[in-house]
Chains A and B, each alone.
Chain A
Amino acid sequence: MQLTGTYTFKAPRDAVWQAMLDPENIRRCMPGCEEFKTTAEDQYEAVMKAGVGSIKGTFQGKIQLSERQPPSSYRMGVEGGGKPGRVKGSGVLTLTDQGGTTLVAYDGDAQVAGLIASVGQRLLGITARKLIEQFFKTMEKQIPATSA
């Protein structure tokens, strides 16, 4: 399943970069985050109970950040499982300076196993995008310059 999208932060790129890679911020912004711990540098384990409308579930997974190119891009890998099945995926986040604002683009691919992949895809993709948008929205509020 391809997941692509963009979000514009009303904040300069350095501030967005700093916020997005801060573990405490990641924990705070993850929708329905119930547990979050750092297992190694750039490696986290999390439990989230999240969803949109009727679609709701508890997911447990590992997050790995890599290929850091400050302040313009990094890769985020996610591997985990929940009631609907196992998910494994990774994507590149690109931060583009737009003179005061920052365009964050994500482009990822997630492998979803089993029946859910074929039957559930229609709703799964948009639900995932919705949760990513929630993450960015909350993240934007963590950046001091824009929270005023």
Chain B
Amino acid sequence: MIPSAFEYHSPTSVEDALGLLGRFGDDAKLLAGGHSLIPLMKLRLAAPEHLIDLGRVQGLSYIRDEGGAIAIGAMTTHSAVAASELLRSRVAVLAEAAASIGDVQVRNRGTIGGSLAHADPGADLPGVMLALNAELVARGASGTRTIAAADFFTDLLSTALEPNEVLTEIRIPVLPANTGSTYLKFANQASGYAIVGIAAVVTVSGATVADARVGVSGVGETASRASGTEQALRGQPANADAVKRAAQQAADGIEPLGDIHASAEYRSHLVRVFAERALNTALGRAQGRG
């Protein structure tokens, strides 16, 4: 449980962090809350020579209402996200997902940006970002760019971030009126990782489903959208029967992982069951029923 030797760097600004990244390139790794990276280092599955700790960088921890979007600093902890009144009232799916991560120690240290940049297949937040059409703001030596969540998660443990970029902010577009959302997962009992995690966002227009978005975490190598279910539900009557039918397609197009915790078949089954439950809850909220 002792990591390989590494050089520790503790920049106090994003610019300094970028400078260090530029200097050490592939041998460096950014440290956010450390609740994914440190265990990997202790197992020696990761052995970066230079660790750049973002913990002392000022101004990366905030949750702000900016009108059209809610902006969240990348170093905001899961517990801060889970406790935010703004997020709980406006983007329940994100607050609920953050509240479900790991245990209290992990939530107090782990950060939204760290979790997203690590892109663990069992992480809760990637699927939530997809369902919310979130935007991820990255800063590099040559400036700032915004990456759509749909383009961000490229592969297993891999993102669209360049090696010399720092994820600084997550932007959640304001949800339309008459929208309800929730996050529901079947968790690994030991780690809390999602075996299946469903982020559901439903917008109703009268008695009809105007829009439905479903993000799936924990099932494939990366999070994905259950687009078949989304299409099947749009324009349908806003009731449990329509949800039940649409949820049957929730696992379509996903190549599920199979491991000692859950076989691929079991994961597919759980996706359908949890998609139905999550969509019903989100639909109920959209209709003002809790």
Contacts and interface: CB of A to CB of B under 8 A. Distances in A.
Interface of A: 51-57, 83-85, 115-116, 119-127, 130
27 contacts: A52-B155, A54-B45, A54-B46, A55-B40, A55-B45, A55-B157, A56-B47, A57-B46, A57-B47, A83-B44, A83-B47, A84-B44, A115-B1, A116-B45, A119-B43, A120-B45, A121-B259, A122-B191, A123-B40, A123-B120, A124-B45, A125-B259, A126-B121, A126-B221, A126-B257, A126-B259, A130-B156
Nearest to A4: B258
B45 A84 contact: yes
Interface in B243-290: 257, 259-261
Contacts of A124: 45
A123 B218 CA distance: 12
A51 B261 CA distance: 23
A85 B1 CA distance: 12
Contacts of B156: 52-53, 126-127, 130
B17 interface: no
B187 to A, nearest CB: 13
Nearest to B1: A115
Interface in B29-60: 29, 36-37, 39-40, 43-47
A124 B257 CA distance: 13
B158 interface: yes
Contact of A54 (B4, B36, B221): B36
A116 B39 CA distance: 10
Nearest to B122: A122
Given A52-B158, A55-B40, A121-B260, 12 more contacts: A52-B155, A53-B157, A54-B29, A54-B157, A56-B45, A57-B46, A116-B45, A119-B43, A122-B193, A123-B40, A123-B45, A127-B156
B118 A54 contact: yes
A17 B119 CA distance: 36
A147 B39 CA distance: 41
Nearest to B188: A122
